[in-house]
């Protein structure tokens, strides 16, 4: 399972990268705005900065919602750095744009996916990644994990190569349950990755080992 971090914060990206388990980064316009990154040139530069920190894929989202606009922006984003994956929303024009990018060797992440049908369409168009937003489904009393399981089943039925990128992950149990279902990737905040570390018995055991070592040395 690949671990992506869902942030545009360079310090957090560095911290996750230093842990040695980071496989990529996802961003979106809201995450960019949260870091105060505004204006096209600053945003493009920020994507390059992120690529220079991590080894893996970095999702960069198009803002246009028409086919021509998405293609123009996506081509510009893809040229920024070989690690860039163009993030395209799950709308009709987006599906057309994903197909275009697929045919032109540009990798894509189909975002804002909330149903199995949308995930099927993304795979048919050849998306590299599909991003079902599980946290946002949970927020409206709909089981996000059930969607991951449905997409896994559908993709396995037909051997679709589109990778399931469980997005809108909020906590460690999301990560563990996505791993059990077989999501290819998860993207979440640093806390969802670091939370995997924690167990009181580890802390108690280590404390005991160190105390016992001190007694004999």
Tokens of 33: 């705005």
Tell me how far, at minimum, the Cβ of 41 lies from ligand E4P, in Å.
22
Count the alpha carbons within 13 Å of 174 in the hemisphere toward its beta carbon: 27
What x/- string results for residues 178 through 207 when contact with ligand E4P is judged by CB under 6 A? ---------x--------------------
Q: Map the footprint of ligand E4P across residues 3-32, applying CB under 6 A.
A: 6, 26, 28
What is the maximal distance between C-alpha atoms in the chain? 72
Of 36-44, 49-57, 132-140, 154-162, the segment contacting ligand E4P by CB under 6 A is 132-140
CA 28 vs. chain centroid, Å, equals: 10
Contact residues for 164 (Cβ-Cβ < 8 A; gap 6+) = 119, 129, 130, 132, 148, 151, 152, 155, 182, 183, 184, 185
Sites for ligand E4P among residues 29-88 (CB under 6 A)? none
Residue 106: CB minimum distance to ligand E4P, A: 18
Nearer Cβ to ligand E4P, position 181 or 208? 181
Report the nearest approach of ligand E4P to the CB of residue 34 (Å): 10
180: annotated active-site residue = no
- Phi then psi for residue 23, to 5 deg, are -110, -5
């Amino acid at each position: 399972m690949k671990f992506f971090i869902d942030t545009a914060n360079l310090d957090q990206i560095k911290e996750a990268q230093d842990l040695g388990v980071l496989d990529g980064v996802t961003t979106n316009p809201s995450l960019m705005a949260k870091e105060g990154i505004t204006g096209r040139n600053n945003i493009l530069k920020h994507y390059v900065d992120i690529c220079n920190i991590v080894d893996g894929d970095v999702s960069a989202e198009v803002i246009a919602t028409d086919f021509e606009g998405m293609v123009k922006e996506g081509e510009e984003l893809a040229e920024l750095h070989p690690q860039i994956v163009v993030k395209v929303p799950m709308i009709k024009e987006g599906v057309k744009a994903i197909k275009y990018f697929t045919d032109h060797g540009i990798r894509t992440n189909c975002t804002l996916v909330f149903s199995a049908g949308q995930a099927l369409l993304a795979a048919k168009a050849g998306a590299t990644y599909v991003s079902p937003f599980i946290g946002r489904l949970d927020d409206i009393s709909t089981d996000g994990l059930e969607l991951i399981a449905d997409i896994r089943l559908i993709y396995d039925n037909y051997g679709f190569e589109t990778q399931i990128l469980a997005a809108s992950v909020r906590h460690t149990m999301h990560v563990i349950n996505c791993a059990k279902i077989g999501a290819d990737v998860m993207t979440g905040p640093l806390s969802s990755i670091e939370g995997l570390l924690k167990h009181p018995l580890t802390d108690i055991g280590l404390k005991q080992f160190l105390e016992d070592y001190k007694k004999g040395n």
